[in-house]
Amino acid sequence: MKEKLVVIGNGMAGIRAVEELLKIAPDTYEISVFGAEPYGNYNRIMLSPVLAGEKTIDEIMLNDEQWYVDNGITLHKGKEVTEIDRVNRKVISADGTTEEYDRLLIATGSSPFIISVPGHDLEGVVPFRDIQDVNQMLDAASKHKHAVVIGGGLLGLEAANGLKEQGMNVTVVHLMDSLMERQLDQPASAMLKSSLEERGLQFILEAQTEAILGKDRVEKVRFKDGTEIYTDLVVMAVGIRPDFTLAEKAGIHCERGIVVNDTMQTFDPRVYSVGECVQHRGQTYGLVAPLFEMARVCANHLGQHGIGRYEGTVTSTKLKVTGIDLFSAGDFNGDENTESLVFQDAARGVYRKLVVQDNRIKGAVMYGDTIDGAWYFDLMRDETDISDFRDKLLFGQAHLGDSGHGEEHRVISLSDNAEVCGCNGVCKGDIVKAITEKKLFTLEDVRAHTKASSSCGSCTGMVEALLAHTVGGDYSVAPHLKPMCGCTEHSHDVVRESIGKIELKSIPDVMSVLDWDTPDGCPKCRMALNYYLLCAWPGEYQDASQSRFINERAHANIQKDGTYSVIPRMWGGDTTPKELRAIAEVAEKYKVKTVHVTGGQRIALFGLKKDELPAVWNDLNKSGLVSGHAYGKALRTVKTCVGKEWCRFGTQDSTQMGIELEKMTWGCWTPHKFKLAVSGCPRNCAEATIKDMGVVCVDSGYELHVGGNGGIKVRVTDFLCAIKTEEEVKEYCAAFMQLYREKAHYLERTAPWIERVGLTYVKEHIVEDEESRKVLAERFLYSQKFSQDDPWKERAEGSDKHEFEPLKELVADLKAG
């Protein structure tokens, strides 16, 4: 017999929890849901666009009634629960419907706050919370002319804008002296007010409502100072109050909300609660992002996975009034311990303020141009050290060496058939359509449904901007720490730390100890885990080749026609007639279609069949040619120029330096590919300043540069330090690579890694702390002992035979076809 789960509240948080539960443990419960509203489940935050006539009710339904049927859920719609009987474990609704429960989930949301001035119950006074309220407002707008909105917060302004769009004459009345004072500082608030005035809204600030007057229907609003205004409709949008009367009546401990712990349990462990009705660590919430996070954690415990804790959420705010861009997050007012960075251009209507403490962003307010809101919000949540780019911070992410993508967020103004994702050929229109039709909320959803942003990721910003714009509000579930992938709750950092601390030494170990949700992971996590284990336990860990991408498994790069490419190493870009002859012979013997000089100073052979590879490698090996790892998340090439041996400007022997670096580092696996270069003078012919690590020779020695990237997003290196001797170059290089190997997330190249952790962090470990540098370099060299066997040689000699041979060759005819 399945256990019974009863959910009270058919809103955004309750049903999200049910959805999450169905994903991870579909067969655990027999589920029934009570909803006081007579519909399926809808997207409450989209009521504002509905009021403004930009959406219809149908368009904002998240789960229609068929969804409940399809998932075997009993929906009691239009039935308000009036009693919870905890002794007999059942709930009873106003019409007498009763359900018994083994577990109960309370998700009753909140109620709009109605100020109890005389006349508040007259006809024509409405709150702004549900479909019924919106219908009332639309009805009033079709018959009447004047509206007053009490409350100049987020909801009030969205209501006012909507009614204005419906043709009404709207006055917003606010108790405070500035609008949205909880989300905006004074300057931003003033800018908002003037642009709303330009659109025709009227404001009365610092006004206290004394009474609402009228005979059958509202006619006037009177204020404390005696003034009165005529109106046909009053919308009360002065705040919300967590709805916990039912829970409190049942004896569940409540304060300002239903008190829950980090696993979303109330004081009665059988009873869970999520959404606006809860109070967690003293905090109540009124935005969806935290509620979605709560829902995830709750589902996880209901599904008996028993991991994951809710630890609170940092929220950010946007106003869903078309044409007005506004963003705020965190502590944007600051105090005596903080500093403010401010950018203001009144003529363009742009304002930005960042509140900073100890070089971390604590809060942000933006008005007019909110393109970088998501970026600041990320920096804030990750507590990123901003000292390295503080001078450019206010100008936004586009000014951080992100060439070619500076305009990316202008996406909103693009036409529908403009291509957003170049990798998968996805246009703006497709993405917007998927978001609205399939009701997508998160970046991951959009990736799964459209493939946009699922490949190189350079359009991620654009897709996020589209999401934010299309679903409005706080679209993304913004967990404090991003899980590695869908198979686990844990972040990359937590997993790596556990591998070391708990001494986990195989992929199955990691998955069982850390409670993976899937039996054997997915490509994302297994490839990452294989790398993390290899890095943590050099010489000890048995590489799991089936947890590697085909290229690394086969030690060659798969091509679009299923053939493979072979690129042998050319140390520091030098070669010899003997090597060239060997390559030429192989090319002829195996009828290689294309022989190409690569961008990495070596020669590639394209179009080889997989079963020929071991023989090809054998032939190359004979002339001393080994694997170039052009297929791996590994040390790739060390590009060099001819340097002082030949060049009239050369200051040091850059070629020899490059060869020695390549001999030291080849064979090494890294979180993403790693490229080095050495230039003989600052003319920099080897392009050292767009490599993961670049060495530029100067008269007095060597300059080291790190974190460069050609490719998708060009990033010029940061200058690390200048040093004198060749030995030092090697030590710094080994130490830097090891720090990157140990600290970066899998598939994070040095450029984004350094942007995440900060150059200061790298300097602290590599430049300023000699001890740390030496220890890192030693660890690097130690692990190299186990990785410098040529993988091609091993395979040419017969290891991994199964990888290269068919299981069987049949000559029989294929029967049907």
Partner 1 sequence: MNENWIEVGSVDDVPVQGARVVKTEGGDIAIFRTEKDEIFALRDKCPHKGGPLSQGFVHGKKVACPMHNWNINLDSGIAVAPDEGCAARYPIMIKDGNILLSLTPDEGASDN
Per-position x/- string for 532-561, each x denoting binding to ligand SRM as judged by CB under 6 A, each - no binding: -------------------------x-x--
Q: Does 35 bind ligand FAD (CB under 6 A)?
A: yes
Instruction: Calculate the CA dihedral of residues 163, 166, 168, 169 and round it to 10 degrees.
Output: 70
Nearest to ligand SF4 of 284, 689 (CB atom): 689
β-strand pairing of 718-723 with 701-706: antiparallel
Is residue 685 near ligand SF4 by the rule CB under 6 A? Answer: yes
Distance CA 53, CA 702 (A): 65
Question: Should residue 469 be labelled a site residue for ligand FAD when binding is judged by CB under 6 A?
Answer: no
Q: Could you say which of ligand SF4, partner 1, ligand SRM, none residue 811 binds, taking C-beta under 5 to 8 angstroms by partner kind?
A: partner 1
Q: Which does 96 bind (CB under 5 to 8 A by kind): partner 1, ligand SRM, ligand SF4, none?
A: none
Q: Is 808 in the site for partner 1 (CB under 8 A)?
A: yes
Residue written as token pair 């954690």:
297
Look up residue 123 and give its two tokens: 């006809």
Cβ proximity of 397 and 409 under 8 Å = no
- Candidate list 363, 373, 643, 658; residue touching ligand SF4; CB under 6 A: 643
Q: Residue 20's binding partner, choosing from ligand SRM, ligand FAD, partner 1, none, with beta-carbon cut-off 5 to 8 A by kind? A: none
Distance CA 520, CA 546 (A): 11
Selection from partner 1, ligand SF4, ligand FAD, none that 454 binds (CB < 5 to 8 A by kind) is partner 1
Binder of residue 107, out of ligand FAD, ligand SRM, partner 1, none (CB less than 5 to 8 A by kind): ligand FAD
Residue 320 Cβ, how far from ligand SF4 at the closest point, in Å?
55
**DSSP string spanning 274-314?**
-STTEEETTB---SHHHHHHHHHHHHHHHTT----------
Does position 309 interact with ligand SRM (CB under 6 A)? The reply is no
- Nearest to 658, CA basis, from 678, 644, 672: 678
At which residue do the structure tokens 């908002």 appear? 192
- How does DSSP classify residue 152? -
Residue 817: which of ligand SRM, ligand FAD, partner 1, none does it interact with, CB under 5 to 8 A by kind?
partner 1
d(CA 160, CA 146): 11
- The answer to whether residue 709 forms part of the interface with ligand SF4 (CB under 6 A) is no
675 touches ligand SRM by CB under 6 A: yes
Binding marks (x or -) toward ligand FAD, 265..284, rule CB under 6 A? ----------xx--------
CA distances from 307 to 26, 79, 96, 302, 700 (A): 17, 33, 37, 10, 56
Q: Using CB under 6 A, which of 6, 13, 160, 586 touches ligand FAD?
A: 13
Within 25-44, the residues that bind ligand SF4 by CB under 6 A are none
Q: Binding partner of residue 642 among ligand SRM, ligand FAD, ligand SF4, none, CB under 5 to 8 Å per kind?
A: ligand SF4
The piece of 157-165, 542-550, 597-605, 740-748 that touches partner 1 (CB under 8 A) is: 542-550
Q: At what angle do helices 12-24 and 288-302 cross, to 10 degrees?
A: 40
Of the pair 597, 812, the CB lying nearest ligand SRM is at 597
CB 436 within 8 A of CB 428: no
Q: What is the C-alpha to C-alpha distance for residues 12 and 108, in angstroms, rounded to an integer?
A: 10
Region binding ligand FAD by CB under 6 A among candidate stretches 36-44, 372-380, 491-499, 687-695? 36-44
- Cβ proximity of 507 and 544 under 8 Å: yes
Selected binder of ligand SRM within 136, 450, 453, 637 (CB under 6 A):
637
Q: Does 649 bind ligand SF4 (CB under 6 A)?
A: yes
Tell me which of 96, 323, 519, 577 binds partner 1, using CB under 8 A: 519
Question: Does 641 contact ligand SF4 by CB under 6 A?
Answer: yes
Report helix angle 654-665 to 770-784, nearest 10.
70
DSSP one-letter string for 754-804: HHHH-HHHHHIIIII-HHHHHHHHHHHHHHHTTT-S-HHHHHHTTTTHHHH
Quote the DSSP letter at residue 814: P
What is the SS3 string spanning 333-375?
Answer: CCCCCCEEEEEEECCCCEEEEEEEECCEEEEEEEECCCCCHHH
In the list 6, 31, 47, 511, the residue contacting ligand FAD (rule: CB under 6 A) is 47
Query: What is the distance between the terminal CA atoms of the chain, rounded to a whole angstrom?
Result: 46
Q: How far apart are CB 693 and ligand SF4 at their closest, in Å?
A: 17
* 303 binding ligand SF4? (CB under 6 A): no
Which residues make up the interface to ligand SF4 (CB under 6 A)? 641-643, 647, 649-650, 679-681, 683-685
Which residues make up the interface to ligand FAD (CB under 6 A)? 8-14, 34-37, 44-45, 47-48, 80-81, 107-109, 128-129, 155, 243, 246, 275-276, 286-289, 291, 320, 472-474
